[in-house]
Chains A and B, each alone.
Chain A
Protein backbone atom coordinates (compact mmCIF):
# COMPACT_ATOMS: atom_id res chain seq x y z
CA UNK A 1 0.00 0.00 0.00
CA UNK A 2 1.19 3.50 -0.63
CA UNK A 3 1.89 5.92 2.19
CA UNK A 4 1.94 9.66 2.39
CA UNK A 5 5.31 11.05 3.37
CA UNK A 6 5.32 14.29 5.34
CA UNK A 7 7.98 16.96 5.17
CA UNK A 8 9.55 18.40 7.26
CA UNK A 9 9.79 15.86 10.07
CA UNK A 10 9.72 18.65 12.64
CA UNK A 11 8.86 22.32 12.65
CA UNK A 12 9.21 24.95 15.39
CA UNK A 13 7.50 28.31 15.05
CA UNK A 14 6.55 31.32 17.13
CA UNK A 15 2.95 31.81 18.18
CA UNK A 16 1.14 33.84 15.56
CA UNK A 17 3.28 32.60 12.67
CA UNK A 18 2.05 30.31 9.92
CA UNK A 19 3.07 26.66 9.70
CA UNK A 20 3.30 24.80 6.41
CA UNK A 21 3.89 21.10 5.97
CA UNK A 22 3.89 18.96 2.86
CA UNK A 23 2.85 15.47 1.92
CA UNK A 24 3.96 13.45 -1.08
CA UNK A 25 2.52 10.17 -2.26
CA UNK A 26 3.23 7.70 -5.03
CA UNK A 27 0.08 6.51 -6.80
CA UNK A 28 -3.28 7.98 -7.78
CA UNK A 29 -5.72 8.64 -4.96
CA UNK A 30 -9.45 9.15 -4.43
CA UNK A 31 -8.89 11.60 -1.64
CA UNK A 32 -6.29 12.75 0.85
CA UNK A 33 -6.88 13.48 4.51
CA UNK A 34 -5.02 15.30 7.24
CA UNK A 35 -5.08 14.28 10.90
CA UNK A 36 -3.66 15.78 14.08
CA UNK A 37 -2.30 13.88 17.07
CA UNK A 38 -1.62 15.44 20.43
CA UNK A 39 1.13 13.77 22.45
CA UNK A 40 0.22 10.22 23.46
CA UNK A 41 -3.33 10.47 22.15
CA UNK A 42 -5.24 9.20 19.16
CA UNK A 43 -5.45 10.93 15.80
CA UNK A 44 -8.18 13.43 15.07
CA UNK A 45 -9.49 14.04 11.56
CA UNK A 46 -8.94 17.60 10.35
CA UNK A 47 -9.87 17.84 6.71
CA UNK A 48 -10.45 15.76 3.58
CA UNK A 49 -9.70 16.91 0.06
CA UNK A 50 -10.94 14.94 -2.94
CA UNK A 51 -8.83 14.28 -6.01
CA UNK A 52 -10.88 16.72 -8.11
CA UNK A 53 -10.37 19.56 -5.64
CA UNK A 54 -7.35 21.86 -5.58
CA UNK A 55 -7.85 23.77 -2.35
CA UNK A 56 -9.96 23.53 0.76
CA UNK A 57 -10.34 25.64 3.87
CA UNK A 58 -11.49 24.87 7.38
CA UNK A 59 -11.09 27.65 9.94
CA UNK A 60 -7.37 28.43 10.15
CA UNK A 61 -6.48 25.41 8.02
CA UNK A 62 -5.83 25.51 4.31
CA UNK A 63 -5.11 22.39 2.32
CA UNK A 64 -3.96 22.22 -1.26
CA UNK A 65 -3.71 19.23 -3.54
CA UNK A 66 -1.67 18.92 -6.71
CA UNK A 67 -2.41 15.54 -8.28
CA UNK A 68 0.06 16.15 -11.12
CA UNK A 69 2.88 16.40 -8.57
CA UNK A 70 1.27 13.90 -6.20
CA UNK A 71 1.60 16.29 -3.33
CA UNK A 72 -0.48 18.13 -0.76
CA UNK A 73 0.22 20.89 1.72
CA UNK A 74 -1.35 21.87 5.01
CA UNK A 75 -1.11 25.47 6.14
CA UNK A 76 -2.03 26.52 9.66
CA UNK A 77 -2.41 30.28 9.90
CA UNK A 78 -1.93 32.42 13.00
CA UNK A 79 -0.67 29.46 15.02
CA UNK A 80 -1.46 29.03 18.70
CA UNK A 81 0.19 27.01 21.45
CA UNK A 82 -2.71 24.56 21.22
CA UNK A 83 -1.64 23.73 17.65
CA UNK A 84 1.43 21.96 19.05
CA UNK A 85 0.94 18.40 17.81
CA UNK A 86 1.94 15.94 15.13
CA UNK A 87 0.22 16.20 11.77
CA UNK A 88 -0.30 13.26 9.43
CA UNK A 89 -1.50 12.96 5.87
CA UNK A 90 -3.36 9.83 4.87
CA UNK A 91 -4.08 8.45 1.43
CA UNK A 92 -7.25 6.52 0.79
CA UNK A 93 -6.68 3.09 -0.73
CA UNK A 94 -10.15 1.53 -1.12
CA UNK A 95 -11.17 0.48 2.36
CA UNK A 96 -8.08 1.57 4.28
CA UNK A 97 -5.99 4.62 4.99
CA UNK A 98 -2.21 4.67 4.81
CA UNK A 99 -0.40 7.19 7.00
CA UNK A 100 3.08 8.66 6.97
CA UNK A 101 5.35 9.27 9.97
CA UNK A 102 4.00 12.79 10.49
CA UNK A 103 5.32 16.31 10.99
CA UNK A 104 5.82 17.39 14.60
CA UNK A 105 4.90 21.03 15.05
CA UNK A 106 5.94 22.99 18.13
CA UNK A 107 4.44 26.42 18.64
CA UNK A 108 6.50 28.57 21.03
CA UNK A 109 4.74 31.14 23.18
Chain B
Protein backbone atom coordinates (compact mmCIF):
# COMPACT_ATOMS: atom_id res chain seq x y z
CA UNK B 1 0.00 0.00 0.00
CA UNK B 2 1.18 3.53 -0.74
CA UNK B 3 -0.14 5.27 2.35
CA UNK B 4 -2.92 6.98 0.39
CA UNK B 5 -6.21 5.12 0.79
CA UNK B 6 -9.20 5.67 -1.47
CA UNK B 7 -12.71 4.39 -0.86
CA UNK B 8 -14.75 3.01 -2.40
CA UNK B 9 -12.60 1.24 -4.98
CA UNK B 10 -15.59 0.75 -7.28
CA UNK B 11 -18.79 2.77 -7.50
CA UNK B 12 -21.76 2.46 -9.83
CA UNK B 13 -24.29 5.24 -9.70
CA UNK B 14 -27.25 6.54 -11.61
CA UNK B 15 -27.32 10.03 -13.03
CA UNK B 16 -29.57 11.29 -10.25
CA UNK B 17 -27.64 9.81 -7.33
CA UNK B 18 -25.44 11.62 -4.85
CA UNK B 19 -22.30 9.86 -3.70
CA UNK B 20 -18.88 10.73 -2.33
CA UNK B 21 -15.35 9.51 -2.89
CA UNK B 22 -13.00 9.55 0.07
CA UNK B 23 -9.24 9.85 0.24
CA UNK B 24 -7.10 9.57 3.34
CA UNK B 25 -3.36 9.89 3.93
CA UNK B 26 -1.27 9.75 7.07
CA UNK B 27 2.06 10.52 5.45
CA UNK B 28 2.36 14.01 6.89
CA UNK B 29 1.75 15.51 3.46
CA UNK B 30 0.18 18.94 3.25
CA UNK B 31 -1.11 18.98 -0.33
CA UNK B 32 -3.80 16.74 -1.82
CA UNK B 33 -5.03 16.34 -5.37
CA UNK B 34 -7.87 14.86 -7.38
CA UNK B 35 -7.10 13.61 -10.89
CA UNK B 36 -9.48 12.11 -13.43
CA UNK B 37 -8.17 9.36 -15.68
CA UNK B 38 -10.13 8.39 -18.78
CA UNK B 39 -8.98 5.76 -21.25
CA UNK B 40 -6.30 6.93 -23.72
CA UNK B 41 -6.35 10.50 -22.36
CA UNK B 42 -3.84 12.44 -20.26
CA UNK B 43 -4.60 12.59 -16.59
CA UNK B 44 -6.78 15.60 -15.88
CA UNK B 45 -5.98 17.60 -12.77
CA UNK B 46 -9.28 18.51 -11.12
CA UNK B 47 -8.52 20.06 -7.76
CA UNK B 48 -5.52 20.88 -5.61
CA UNK B 49 -5.61 21.61 -1.91
CA UNK B 50 -2.61 23.00 -0.08
CA UNK B 51 -2.85 23.33 3.69
CA UNK B 52 -6.58 22.67 3.35
CA UNK B 53 -7.09 25.61 1.01
CA UNK B 54 -8.15 25.03 -2.57
CA UNK B 55 -5.48 26.42 -4.86
CA UNK B 56 -6.65 24.93 -8.14
CA UNK B 57 -10.06 24.37 -9.61
CA UNK B 58 -9.37 23.36 -13.17
CA UNK B 59 -12.66 24.35 -14.80
CA UNK B 60 -14.35 21.33 -13.32
CA UNK B 61 -18.16 21.15 -13.65
CA UNK B 62 -20.05 22.05 -10.50
CA UNK B 63 -21.47 18.53 -10.28
CA UNK B 64 -18.08 17.68 -8.74
CA UNK B 65 -17.62 19.29 -5.34
CA UNK B 66 -14.39 18.82 -3.36
CA UNK B 67 -14.01 19.06 0.38
CA UNK B 68 -10.83 19.04 2.45
CA UNK B 69 -11.72 19.12 6.16
CA UNK B 70 -8.11 18.64 7.26
CA UNK B 71 -4.73 17.87 5.73
CA UNK B 72 -5.28 14.11 5.97
CA UNK B 73 -8.68 13.82 4.31
CA UNK B 74 -10.08 14.77 0.94
CA UNK B 75 -13.53 14.12 -0.45
CA UNK B 76 -15.08 14.42 -3.87
CA UNK B 77 -18.85 14.81 -3.69
CA UNK B 78 -20.70 13.72 -6.80
CA UNK B 79 -24.19 14.65 -7.88
CA UNK B 80 -26.18 14.60 -11.10
CA UNK B 81 -23.30 13.05 -13.00
CA UNK B 82 -23.23 12.23 -16.70
CA UNK B 83 -22.14 8.96 -18.34
CA UNK B 84 -19.00 10.70 -19.65
CA UNK B 85 -17.94 11.20 -16.04
CA UNK B 86 -17.25 7.47 -15.84
CA UNK B 87 -13.53 7.18 -15.18
CA UNK B 88 -10.86 6.27 -12.66
CA UNK B 89 -10.57 9.02 -10.04
CA UNK B 90 -7.17 9.22 -8.46
CA UNK B 91 -6.26 10.95 -5.26
CA UNK B 92 -2.67 11.96 -4.55
CA UNK B 93 -0.73 13.79 -1.89
CA UNK B 94 2.64 15.48 -1.72
CA UNK B 95 4.93 16.59 1.08
CA UNK B 96 5.73 20.20 1.97
CA UNK B 97 8.73 22.09 0.64
CA UNK B 98 11.73 20.53 -1.16
CA UNK B 99 11.04 22.37 -4.41
CA UNK B 100 9.59 19.39 -6.23
CA UNK B 101 6.15 17.83 -6.10
CA UNK B 102 6.59 14.08 -5.87
CA UNK B 103 3.13 12.62 -5.68
CA UNK B 104 1.97 9.55 -3.81
CA UNK B 105 -1.18 8.16 -5.39
CA UNK B 106 -3.98 6.05 -4.05
CA UNK B 107 -5.22 3.02 -5.97
CA UNK B 108 -8.13 4.97 -7.40
CA UNK B 109 -11.92 4.81 -7.35
CA UNK B 110 -13.44 3.36 -10.52
CA UNK B 111 -16.68 5.25 -11.17
CA UNK B 112 -19.36 4.07 -13.57
CA UNK B 113 -22.30 6.36 -14.27
CA UNK B 114 -25.32 4.66 -15.78
Contacts and interface: CB of A to CB of B under 8 A. Distances in A.
Contacts of A3: 42
Contact of A101 (B6, B42, B90): B42
Interface residues of B, number: 29
Interface stretch (A12-20, A40-48, A54-62, A72-80): A40-48
Contacts of B76: none
B104 A101 contact: no
Contact of B48 (A33, A40, A45, A95): A95
| Chain B contact residues: helix, strand, loop or mixed | strand
A97 B35 CA distance: 10
Among B31, B42, B55, B102: residue with most chain A CB under 10 A: B42
B43 A88 contact: yes
Interface of A: 1, 3, 30-31, 33, 35, 40-45, 48, 50, 88, 90, 92, 95-101
Interface of B: 2, 4, 6, 31, 33, 35, 40-43, 45, 48, 50, 55-56, 88, 90, 92, 99-108, 110
